[in-house]
Structure 1
Amino acid sequence: MSTTFVDIMMRTAATAGEDRGIRFYSSPTDSEFRSYAAFDRQARADAATLTARGHAAGEVVILAFDPGLAFIRALYATFYAGLIAAPVPVAAMRQPGAALGRLEAIIADSRSALVLTDGTALAAMGLEPGGAPAGATVTQVTTLAGEADAASWTPPPITARSLALLQYTSGSTGTPKGVMVSHGNLVANEAAITAAVGISAASRTMGWLPHYHDMGLVGQLLQPIFAGADSVLTSPSQFLRRPLLWLRLISQYRSTHTVGPDFAYGLCTRLVTDEQLAELDLSALEGVITGAEPVRGSTLAAFSDRFAAAGFDGRAFIPAYGMAETTLLVTASVRSAPVDPIRVDAAGVEAGELHEPTSDDRVVDLVSCGPPAEGHEIAIMDPASGLRAAEGAIGEILVRGPSVAQGYWDRPEETERVFGGTLVGESGDRRYLRTGDLGSLVDGELVITGRIKDLIIIRGRNLYPQDLETTAESFLQSGCLSAAFEGLGSQPAVGLVAEVDAARVPLDELERLAEAVRRRVVDEYTLPELGIAFIRKGTLPRTTSGKVQRALTRSLLADERLATVLSVGFDRSLA
């Protein structure tokens, strides 16, 4: 029985051999293929070199790569040497300093002494040739070749309890936080994904998600390795430049499975022309996972309608729920019919309960994300009492099971608070991960209704609103505050309300200021879009202690009850 992911990689190399592997597209026409057997041979030699250089099992290695086969080679080498992989992004659009700052923060937090990279990644972060981030030595993965051969490799002294990954949360530019994922966690979650989604060695997967994010790493990259399935990949930047490329590669390779966040399906629905649609064949798709951000039934329906002419079957959609703290997958909803949202009363949701609508005036459509993965348990906790919530009630989602990670790296107090949750009146031995998300179980399936925290989830990233606000307020007059929040419906994915002294600033200057703020926040946080509203100074909703009330701000903006002097990017109403 395989207990570590090294066992899995070796098994796949033996069973898939030279016939199956990973093909990466660096452009729409340029690709490179490497078999699972070739990855295994290279990993043995690379790992032997790392060991010979004095790197011992249990050390943290930062993997700083652009998307591509070089990253996958480095990940194999890290695992085969028994090291702990900490993947990081190396590019941040037009803000290279942000990526370098994040890298150096992760080096400091993880106490890693080694960064594996290639010839282009560090340059992408604005470093001079030969430069290095503070706190660690840099080794280019290509220099590992030749020092040791594959025959000198011996399996590392690791077990299922050994750490495989430090999955740093993909949030804002604040201090990164490393989730400790063991080999046992990784194997358990990949097995859960396989059971829930049905990926096998005969499957063909395709994707473009970031390799440093839990959904891209665990669900897109490592899952086909686990199953021994053929995989085709490209980069997020290629997808964002040409969303059609995703669908063209699915058509070309007759892909059976893919994965993406809600925005990606909406983007393709809007941008693919009738002429381009005629070129596509999506009929081989069996499982199309949607997750990493709220799943909208309207998005799935629109995509299904648009691409039915290309052979797409809406029954292939699989809404899913997960997070880095559970390695990835918690639930997945596989259906024999197209996704049918659950229509509930909006007032009931606001009151913390799911009810059938009393009228069509105020309803909310929610999408089931399916039952817990095999071997896992979900409990709903009343946030006020700590008791198990009554059936039909909305509460905080708690998770138990073999995929729940080991905690946060070097953060014992936060680990205890988040990973040591218990239910009042029940055995203290039953420890749960507190997700911070709100939801309910309906006929044994999880329905997400919102989140306790103010996190903004966009494109699979958790953005802290206070960081966006800090960036925005650097442009504003002294004493002017702002509130950032997640958008609603067809509105911009992120909204920002900021105070200005309108009496002292002409309208044309306010318009230039709004554009400057928008451009800086969009660039720094890699947002798809941002709506901005300026309101009169001193009118931003706050608590009696002076804290900004973000949810109330968003609600008042939707109801047009703020003292708005300029709005850019919002429709007349957020509702």
Structure 2
Amino acid sequence: MSRPRTLNWLDAPRDDTGVEMFDEASHTYRPYTELADAAGRIAGGLIARGVPRGAVVPLLCSTGPDLVAAFYGVQAAGCVVSVLAPPTRMSGEAARAHVRAVVTAVDAGAVVADAAHHDYAVDVLAGTGTGTGSGSGARVLLLEELAAAEAGRRDPVEQALVQFTSGSSGRPRGVRVSHAALDANTAAIRAWERAGRDDSWCSWLPMHHDMGLIGCLVVPVSGNNRLAVCRPETFLRHPLVYLTRFDAKRVERPATITATPAFGLKRIVDKVGHADLEGADLSRTRAVIVGAERIDPALVTRFTELMRPHGLDPHTLTPAYGLAESTLAVTGVPVEEEPRSVLVHRDELRVGAQVSLADGRTDRATVQVMSCGRALDGLTVRVVGEDGEPLPEGHVGELAVTGSSLADGYLTDGSAEGTAFAGGRLLTRDVAFELAGEFYVLGRLGDSVKVHARSLFAEDVELMLGRAGLDLSRVCVVLGEADGQPHAVAVLEGLDTRAAKVAEEVLAAACPGTRRHVAQVPRGAIPRTSSGKSRRRRLWQRLSQERALDAVSAAADSPA
């Protein structure tokens, strides 16, 4: 095959840009010339160690320049890369089991780990008879030793990477992404962002997750654009440290593009005030991509009101929709347009129904939904009904995607209830409606329940809990049917009785016709993906199997 475009930078790396790693007290910087050289030597090290062309090589590395070099080094060796989530202080057996599951799923003969994670990888894989280097299972290769080898290069195979879905609606599944799809989505994202030679990225997103890996590693690095990264823990502790990288008064080359889930915006508005930003100049920022979860228009307003006095144009905020099965991005609001939202009647939010716009302010009978923009170049997006056929504009249905960015499928066949590739298109299981060419995403089919012919979406209920003052990082709403009845459960992680009372009131308003429960659980009890999303389906299954719904407080509407 011809050389993939996303690898072209290895042949012509810039010496005036590179990757910076920063935290509260320090930073390191490596130019692209140095990273390209390191990638070539890592490729040579893999070839010398006998790692065959086309093999899938998992990476277990800290966020930063070394991971960038390793990612491209694996591909330069003609291998397929899969980035593993590095452990944190809170990681337990579930994280170790995930590493073993990935290594087994991709049939890895070798795992590359940096010095900080080498012993951890050996220890984790020892439980499966791997990691010993004895000839059985996967060898754990030390990144620093590979980088000391002579440079090497092999022609790429068609497959570029295996990225694992977040698992928020089920078990994580390995998605096979080709170089062609990676090239197409990268080009589409750069065209949508109007990215140029002088743009600079800043990111706190984990590099094992599709939004961080594709949107904030492959997109800037393949374009030789400057990239500043910090670990997620740094952002969570001190979001102001991250914001400083956009301040033209503080840094010589301020970042112009970033990406974050809506949770990141909330972290900023909760932790940063106008006094913290006094004198800041954020006017160089061109695009703040927001995706990965339902976006609350009220949160967008809070964020823009905080940032506008310091030079950030409201047009900068750019909602988007995507998923790993389409490499990353599917739709996005053009960077030169201010994001739109519409107010619709809540009773009409069911598959097949037509929505109508409501007048006035948001109340219990209406819901405000933020646009996720239009389909990106090379992709076609349709809203389809339960029969899989396209619905007219303004009708609620499932998003179906076709085009050049689609992955080649899963490593193994997935659940029939989940996102699926069928008939040349991707059936996302995400529910949305289209108005004037823009798509408004409501939530997942698997995270909803029908009550009196109306669909309730977990994301919608969570937004209402957030507006009522609850900390959404410690809340999860799950919906489902048990014993022939629809149930709505608000799971509160380490929150007090006052929060429980608020949750009861919100559920009563948002979920009429359901059996309603509020479960107070200790910190850490809500299962989450490696990117921090709540695993709703797993939580619902646990509550159902353990008969926990019988053990928590319940309420139901009285018969009329």
Counterpart residue type for residue 165 of structure 2: T
Cα distance in 1 between the residues matched to 2:344 and 2:528: 37
- Over the matched positions of the two proteins, sequence identity in percent amounts to 27
Structure 2 vs 1, CA of residues 526 and 84 (structure 1 numbering), >3 Å: closer, same or farther? closer
- Structure 2 segments unaligned to the other structure (5+ residues): 131-136, 450-456, 479-487, 491-496, 501-517, 535-542
Counterpart residue type for residue 353 of structure 1: Q
Counterpart residue type for residue 114 of structure 2: D
What is aligned with 1:326? 326
Deviation string, structure 1 residues 285-306 (Cα, Å, up to 9, x no partner):
0111000111222111111101
> TM-score when scaled to structure 2?
0.78
Cα distance in 2 between the residues matched to 1:403 and 1:128: 34
Structure 2 vs 1, CA of residues 244 and 130 (structure 1 numbering), >3 Å: closer, same or farther? farther
What is aligned with 2:39? 43
What is aligned with 1:503? none
Deviation string, structure 1 residues 317-353 (Cα, Å, up to 9, x no partner):
1111100000001011025453231121222224732
Cα distance in 2 between the residues matched to 1:516 and 1:97: 24
Q: Does 1:136 align with 2:138?
A: yes
Counterpart residue type for residue 395 of structure 1: G
Q: Does 1:227 align with 2:223?
A: yes
Moved more, 358-367 or 212-221: 358-367
Q: Does 1:78 align with 2:60?
A: no
Aligned-partner SS, 2:447: coil
What is aligned with 1:17? 14
Q: Does 1:250 align with 2:243?
A: no
What is aligned with 2:106? 110
Aligned-partner SS, 1:378: strand
RMSD: 3.8
> TM-score when scaled to structure 1?
0.76
Are the aligned partners of 2:296 and 2:463 in contact in 1 as well (CA < 8 Å)? no
What is aligned with 2:234? 238
Are the aligned partners of 2:287 and 2:335 in contact in 1 as well (CA < 8 Å)? no
Moved more, 447-456 or 85-94: 447-456
1:450 is displaced (CA, Å) by 2.0
Moved more, 373-382 or 94-103: 94-103
What is aligned with 2:155? 156
Aligned-partner SS, 1:289: strand
Aligned-partner SS, 1:240: helix
Are the aligned partners of 2:261 and 2:292 in contact in 1 as well (CA < 8 Å)? yes
What is aligned with 1:344? 344
Cα distance in 2 between the residues matched to 1:369 and 1:83: 35
Cα distance in 1 between the residues matched to 2:197 and 2:231: 23
What is aligned with 1:371? 374
Cα distance in 2 between the residues matched to 1:75 and 1:176: 21
1:133 is displaced (CA, Å) by 7.8
Are the aligned partners of 1:98 and 1:173 in contact in 2 as well (CA < 8 Å)? no
Task: Select the residue among 416, 433, 444 that pairs with 2:437.
Answer: 444
Q: Does 1:8 align with 2:6?
A: yes
What is aligned with 1:305? 305
Aligned-partner SS, 2:432: strand
Aligned-partner SS, 1:281: coil
What is aligned with 1:487? 462
The 5-angstrom pairing of residues 451-530 of structure 1 reads 451-454=444-447, 487-489=462-464, 490=466, 491=470, 492=472, 493-495=475-477, 517-522=521-526
What is aligned with 2:484? none
What is aligned with 2:508? none
Cα distance in 2 between the residues matched to 1:294 and 1:76: 32
What is aligned with 1:207? 203
Structure 2 vs 1, CA of residues 131 and 18 (structure 1 numbering), >3 Å: closer, same or farther? farther
Q: Does 1:190 align with 2:209?
A: no
What is aligned with 1:260? 260
Are the aligned partners of 2:165 and 2:173 in contact in 1 as well (CA < 8 Å)? yes
Counterpart residue type for residue 73 of structure 1: A
Counterpart residue type for residue 494 of structure 1: C
Moved more, 324-333 or 71-80: 71-80
- Aligned length in residues: 490
Counterpart residue type for residue 80 of structure 2: I
Are the aligned partners of 2:21 and 2:230 in contact in 1 as well (CA < 8 Å)? yes
1:73 is displaced (CA, Å) by 1.6
Aligned-partner SS, 1:343: strand
Deviation string, structure 1 residues 23-49 (Cα, Å, up to 9, x no partner):
111x22322212222222122222122
Are the aligned partners of 2:118 and 2:142 in contact in 1 as well (CA < 8 Å)? no
1:204 is displaced (CA, Å) by 0.9
What is aligned with 1:480? none
Cα distance in 1 between the residues matched to 2:404 and 2:523: 43
Cα distance in 1 between the residues matched to 2:200 and 2:433: 34
Counterpart residue type for residue 322 of structure 1: G
Are the aligned partners of 2:118 and 2:140 in contact in 1 as well (CA < 8 Å)? no
Structure 2 vs 1, CA of residues 369 and 548 (structure 1 numbering), >3 Å: closer, same or farther? farther
Cα distance in 2 between the residues matched to 1:20 and 1:292: 29
Are the aligned partners of 1:281 and 1:310 in contact in 2 as well (CA < 8 Å)? yes
Aligned-partner SS, 2:521: helix
Aligned-partner SS, 1:320: strand
Cα distance in 1 between the residues matched to 2:106 and 2:400: 27
Aligned-partner SS, 2:371: coil
